[in-house]
Structure 1
């Protein structure tokens, strides 16, 4: 991938800025030297645009954000040095590609325009999470454009998918782009640390740095959640994003630095992009603009039609395919449904295995259609819906056919309808169709559940 010229994790303590830290810089000499080296290396790669993701911009629980403004600026006024000001033009073309790519991959990206910022009462000023790395890049000579992103409190798998969306967007432009994930590690390394002390902080940092040195997404996904909570960190979600940006690419670790003299872990890891895709990612991550679930669904049905048995789940799977959830696989041909079968609750150890089985069922066992044949595969459009855990509801007022799917139950009878279906515009229509699918009469009492889906195409 020639457009992506480098990636790095960088910390963001304002004390790294000489005008702020002054004599304290000697205590983080290793971090300052590594940040300088990484910035100079990236500058030598001649990026026209820096994409930077920060944990300290406007953070939403259910969305990541992009700052939509022609010019972004910020200062270190809050840290006693108002004269240190940075300003950058926004790369509006790359930003548009990112927005489109997120829409395609089902990433909830909020566009922070002036009006949106006013509505949410938030600032479009660059935060210190972005400013600190950008200070070092500017000092190294970078004078290009930026795209300013802020993480959301989304599952780690979705942050990885966000990274994949940005990778696809970068590949759609003619520009040389570097990506920076801004994030500090544990804030609880020593007594008196900003977030208090926990002996697990150092363990968390060690495991994260080791995983980054090995570019090991699975190791990060397998981190004990109690350990993550105890660490008191702000960098893990930006790290998953960064790994998504590099997903499927041949990368090599260039610089590794770590220290935590003030009780906060400052990790710097930079990556050289060699451009070639790993073969295993082609089967388990995303190819081009195609999402990992869709790639796997296609591969599963093709394998079954060729070999008359289910494919084995890949040894290495993209984060979005880990965990457990119900999933529906749909095939369409010339805009018309050709097969759709799924599970509203997990029946397999992983989402990957759920999709493998449901893709075969949708393609060969949907009683409404003849089984799909091998020569039809190039003509099919595929979508995969991964379901949230259903929650009971007591009123139609809590339903929305565009946002929520619905499940109706009466004893052993149940019917499910996915959200946002063409021609299903009211709650009454949605519940009525689900009743008919379950064989439940309109006058019979039912239990009602709703769920959300993440749709991949």
Structure 2
């Protein structure tokens, strides 16, 4: 086996005696458990540790891997600057993870030294790494590491990342251990850092129970509202790690759980015991995905069918779709946007604010090809991806000038920002865009308009076809 061990541990700086002093004694069980985790990693024969932290540079849709020459960090920001950490960065494994992730549709970015100043990033080891490392080293872990950041990508993408880590290790013949760093609810008591969160205890108890089995599919299917209301910082790191165990029998053990400061600290051990394809959560997820896409395509609208068949024919080198017999309502002219998603993540989106073709249907044909092959954010769609793609079409209604934010509503209206010849558009009712401020800010960024530059605002409604 390439993945020989997996573990979950919290990262409370107060647990480090040089930081917490006498308060550190209140989490003695956590200290002992992480040290034991280190002993088990050492016994596993692991040659590299991949650690996933929620406090490294985190992005919405992209998983970041720290590719600096040497991994360095300390606990100076917690009053213990004398605690220094220097790790070898397993560049070969990191590069292989990136390639394997790309091969299965997971977006990964490598972060190098030259990006620190350019993008105002801190690529030193964060406390999501240094705190566990303090105790893991006491357990005998002296290995190269790969430092990975958690991401806010769809859960399936995060899970697939774990599979990519395993495939990367297999390709190199490397024995790898994965560690998911993260605390559970930050709101277990009234004096907790996040204040009291009524569902925090419920989240912790449910996650601990699921991992003790372990019920990996159950973890993935946890109620996401519960996860959000728990105020946690470990769930997504755990999902990423669990992907590496897909299709394996796993022996799990909760080494400790406590929450003396109102934050849940869990240490868990998960040891792969051999391949068992019946345990593959991915296979079941893919089957559900196929059924969902089949249902969606059976009910798709005329314009969405045109968009899908247009791109499929274009990618396969077949003759274009004939829209000459289009319904009367699509013979009108209007701006159109075609959006393509793959496994819940955007795969391409191109559109026209004003019509450029004789009809809406012909506008869809042109923009479907552009969305699939000319969106500068993505590589052109490949033929093997076509079965996994989902489409939507937005037909823009006439725009109108607005005088301020009070006339905007990101659920109802799209927005256009203009400054001279520059303009940026954002469609309405997009996942993750909840406020007018977010909507306008993203539109400004798309147009290359600075946050303080004066702009003209316009709003519009759309008819969305799925």
CA contact (8 A) 1:325 1:345 kept: no
Distance in 2, matches of 1:59 and 1:221, equals 20
SS at match of 2:185: coil
Displacement, 1:154?
A: 1.1
Q: CA deviation at 1:6?
A: 0.7
Residue 31 of structure 1 corresponds to 30
Contact 1:215 1:243 in 2 (8 A): no
**Is contact 1:258–1:267 with CA below 8 Å preserved after alignment?**
yes
Cα offset for 1:228? 1.5
Deviation at 1:50, TM superposition (A): 0.6
**Aligned residue in 2 for 1:191:** 190
Cα shift readout 1:133-185 (whole Å, capped 9, x = no counterpart): 11112122222200000011111111111111111111112222111000100
Aligned to 1:276: 275
Q: How does 1:181-260 map to 2 (within 5 A)?
A: 181-260=180-259
**How big is each residue's C-alpha offset from its partner over 1:183-233, in whole Å with a ceiling of 9 and x where there is no partner?**
100000000111110121000000111111123233223322322221100
- CA distance, structure 2, for counterparts of residue 80 and residue 162 of structure 1: 35
Decide whether aligned partners of structure 1 residues 99 and 388 sit closer, same or farther in structure 2, where only a CA change above 3 A counts. Answer: closer
Cα gap change, 1:388 to 1:7, in 2 (>3 Å): closer
* 1:447 corresponds to which of 395, 402, 411: 395
Which one of the candidate residues 351, 368, 385 is aligned to 1:417? 368
Q: What secondary structure sits across from 1:230 in the alignment?
A: helix
- For structure 2, list consecutive stretches of 5 or more residues without a partner in the other structure: 301-307, 320-340, 381-393, 397-425, 431-466
Q: TM-score, normalised by structure 2?
A: 0.66
Distance 1:111 1:240 in 2: 21
Q: Give the count of matched residue pairs.
A: 346
- Indicate the SS of the match to 2:260: coil
Q: Is the CA contact 2:349–2:371 (under 8 Å) kept in the aligned structure 1?
A: no
- CA distance in 1 between partners of 2:224 and 2:124 (Å): 33
Partners of 2:278 and 2:348 in 1: CA distance: 39
Match of 2:352 among 395, 414, 426: 395
Tell me, in whole angstroms, the C-alpha distance in 1 between the residues paired with 2:148 and 2:187: 26
CA separation in 2, counterparts of 1:138 and 1:154? 31
Q: Could you list the runs of 4 or more consecutive aligned residues of structure 1 that deviate by over 4 angstroms after TM superposition?
A: 320-327, 342-348, 384-394, 396-399, 408-411, 413-416, 418-422, 448-452
* 8 Å CA contact 1:393, 1:450 repeated in 2: no
Matched, 1:54 2:2: no
Q: Equivalent residues in 2 for 1:284-433 (5 A)?
A: 285=282, 317-318=284-285, 327=293, 385-386=342-343, 395=352, 409-410=360-361, 417=368
Equivalents in 2 of 1:398, 1:159: separation in Å?
38
Shift of 1:395: 2.8
Aligned match of 1:332: none
Q: Deviations over 1:423-457 (max 9, x none)?
A: x699xxx9xxxxxxxxxxxxxxx9369999xxxxx
Distance in 1 (alpha carbons) for counterparts of 2:63 and 2:80 = 30
Q: Distance in 2 between matches of 1:234 and 1:206?
A: 15
Rounded to whole Å, the distance in 2 between the matches of 1:419 and 1:29 is: 58
Distance 1:246 1:7 in 2: 8
- Structure 1 residues 63-82: aligned runs within 5 Å: 63-82=62-81
Match of 2:122 in 1: 123
- Equivalent-residue separation in structure 2 for 1:123 and 1:94 (angstroms): 22
State whether residues 70 and 87 of structure 2, in contact with CA within 8 Å, keep that contact through their aligned partners in structure 1.
Answer: yes
| Alignment match, 2:329 | none
Tell me the CA shift for residue 34 of structure 1: 1.1
> What is the rounded CA distance, in whole Å, between the counterparts of 1:56 and 1:223 in structure 2?
23
TM-score, with length taken from structure 1: 0.67
1:172 match: secondary structure: helix
Paired with 1:34 and 1:212, the residues of 2 have a C-alpha distance of 16
1:133 equivalent to 2:84? Answer no
The whole-number CA distance in structure 1 between the counterparts of 2:355 and 2:244 is: 37
Taking only aligned residues, the RMSD between alpha carbons, in angstroms, comes to: 3.7
Kindly tell me: are residues 326 and 394 of structure 1, through their superposed partners in 2, closer, same or farther at Cα, counting changes over 3 Å?
farther
Match of 2:437 in 1: none
Report the Cα offset of residue 417 of structure 1.
Answer: 3.3
Tell whether the 8 Å contact from 1:326 to 1:388 is kept in structure 2 after alignment.
no
Q: 1:44 — aligned with what?
A: 43
CA distance in structure 2 between the partners assigned to 1:97 and 1:30 by the alignment: 36
- Contact 1:102 1:165 (8 Å CA) reproduced: yes
Q: Cα offset for 1:79?
A: 0.4
> Counterpart of 1:374?
none
